[in-house]
């Protein structure tokens, strides 16, 4: 199968999946006893909203029409690149239409923050996982292998929430790095975010990395065990291959065998894991952002989904669509990268057959 055709087919499947996911969200929202007028008007839940006010609001946001019509309207907007206006803080002018924050304007900055957390976390994770797995696999059963396996087991058995909160408690005692929050790399326009004890807005690469250090560590602590385990198992299998014996027979040093021959061929399951654990990463991200006060996608979605500022349907749909696109896109990229990393695999080969699962 050629690459273009494969991408086209996968994209078609992705569109069907996304339509399903968003429609299901629409439907679930409709099933829950949430009152859209209440989300927009707010106020004391005990005091009923006057019927004429309710009618105006429901008509303006379109919830008085059938569910399928509402969905078609929303989907039409998405095709035009418009995710709609958030219900929270929506102003309704019966003559001139609606005014409010657009969902995409809220999602974009949050995305950069979340990407900072996940991207840096992944870099730290790989920087830690590859050497540990290589050392463990070169001497299976050694004290290093056992001690790291034990430590990593503790890491994955502790909730990221607890890890984050513990790191923060340590920080409160020793103050050696910032507790969290987010500092953009580029200088924000006037009136940017300031931190307690400073009047200057916080920005710059060093501040950015410093404030994200604890979130990155939390991310790494949770995922390290999974990655080390998979990479170590694969490395042990690869080291038994004849071509490794050939390399050794040629007189290649052990580090060279590991770095040039074994690691390269053992990276494929790591790539698969990255695709498959993306959903898990979203959950972990949510906890990390809550603990460290980072206004990223996780925090944004928690606000919309938990009713913290009202169950905001356009925001919920925007986030569901966005995360769906991100996860499906990541998995597509992973599948396209296989042949680049491993020449034995052709594009479009079912990767589930290649996975080293927990049962394998």
Partner 1 sequence: MVAAPASSRDRSGSRVLWTRFKRDRLAVASGVFLTLLVAAIIVGPPIATRILGHGPNDPFPYAVDIYLKPVGPFSRVPDLNTSQSNDPFDLGTAPPGTPTTVLLLGGDGPLGRDMFERLLIGGRVSLEVAFGASLLAVLIGLLLGGLAGYFGGLVDAVVSRLTDFIMAFPLLLLLILLGNTVANDITFVTLHGLLQPGVLSLILLIGLFAWFYPARIVRAEVSALKEREFVESARMIGASEWRILRTHIFPHVVPVLLAYSSFLVASNILIEAGLTFLNVGVRLPTASWGTLLTNAWGTYRNPQPYDPQRMTIWVTIFPTLAILVTAIAWTLFGEGLRRALAPRSR
Where do contacts with partner 1 occur on this chain (CB under 8 A)? 13, 17-18, 20-21, 24-25, 28-29, 31-34, 140, 153-154, 156-162, 165, 168-169, 172, 233, 236, 276, 278-279, 282-283, 286-287, 290-291, 301-302, 305-308, 311, 316, 319-320, 323-324, 327-328, 331, 352-353, 357-360
Minimum Å distance from CB 52 to partner 1?
A: 27
Nearer to partner 1, 122 or 290 (CB): 290
Nearer to partner 1, 57 or 286 (CB): 286
The span from the CA of 333 to the CA of 339, in Å, is 11
Minimum Å distance from CB 254 to partner 1?
A: 19
Closest listed residue to residue 29, CA positions, set 305, 247, 337, 330? 305
Nearer to partner 1, 208 or 312 (CB): 312
Minimum Å distance from CB 83 to partner 1?
A: 16
The span from the CA of 232 to the CA of 261, in Å, is 15
Nearer to partner 1, 184 or 317 (CB): 317
Minimum Å distance from CB 313 to partner 1?
A: 10
Nearer to partner 1, 7 or 165 (CB): 165
What's the angle, vertex CA 148, arms to CA 170 and CA 214, rounded to 5? Answer: 30
Cα dihedral sign for 192, 193, 196, 202? negative
Minimum Å distance from CB 193 to partner 1?
A: 19
Closest listed residue to residue 62, CA positions, set 50, 74, 53, 45? 74
Structure tokens at 106: 């809220």
Nearer to partner 1, 34 or 347 (CB): 34
What is the DSSP-derived secondary structure letter of residue 261? I
Q: What is the 3-state secondary structure (H, E, C) of 177-213?
A: CCCCCCCCCCCCCCCCCECCCCCCECCCHHHHHHHHH
What's the angle, vertex CA 281, arms to CA 276 and CA 284, rounded to 5? Answer: 145
């Amino acid at each position: 199968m050629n690459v273009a055709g494969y991408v086209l087919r996968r994209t078609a499947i992705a569109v069907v999946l996304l339509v399903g996911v968003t429609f299901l969200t629409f439907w679930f929202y409709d099933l829950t006893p949430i009152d859209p007028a209440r989300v927009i008007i707010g106020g004391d839940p005990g005091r009923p909203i006057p019927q004429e006010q309710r009618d105006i609001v429901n008509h303006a946001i379109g919830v008085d029409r059938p569910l399928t019509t509402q969905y078609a309207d929303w989907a039409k907007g998405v095709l035009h690149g418009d995710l709609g206006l958030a219900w929270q803080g929506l102003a309704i002018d019966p003559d001139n239409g609606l005014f409010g924050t657009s969902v995409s304007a809220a999602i974009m900055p949050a995305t950069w923050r979340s990407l900072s957390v996940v991207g840096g976390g992944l870099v730290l994770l790989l920087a830690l996982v590859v050497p540990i797995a290589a050392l463990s696999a070169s001497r299976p059963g050694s004290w290093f292998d056992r001690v790291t396996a034990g430590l990593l087991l503790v890491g994955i058995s502790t909730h990221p929430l607890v890890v984050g909160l513990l790191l923060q408690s340590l920080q409160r005692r020793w103050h050696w790095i910032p507790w969290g929050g987010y500092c953009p790399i580029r200088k924000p326009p006037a009136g940017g975010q300031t931190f307690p004890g400073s009047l200057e807005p916080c920005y710059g690469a060093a501040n950015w990395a410093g404030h994200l250090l604890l979130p990155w560590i939390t991310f790494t602590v949770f995922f390290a065990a999974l990655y080390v385990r998979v990479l170590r198992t694969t490395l042990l299998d690869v080291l038994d291959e004849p071509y490794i014996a050939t390399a050794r027979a040629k007189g290649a040093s052990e580090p060279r065998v590991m770095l040039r021959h074994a690691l390269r061929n053992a990276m494929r399951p790591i790539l698969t894991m990255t695709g498959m654990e993306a959903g898990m990463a979203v959950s972990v991200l949510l906890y990390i952002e809550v603990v460290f006060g980072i206004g990223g996608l996780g925090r944004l979605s928690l606000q919309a989904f938990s009713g913290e500022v009202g169950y905001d349907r356009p925001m919920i749909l925007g986030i569901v669509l966005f995360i769906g696109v991100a996860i499906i896109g990541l998995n597509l990229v992973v599948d396209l990268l296989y042949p680049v990393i491993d020449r034995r695999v052709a594009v479009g080969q079912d990767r589930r057959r290649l996975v080293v699962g927990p049962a394998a």
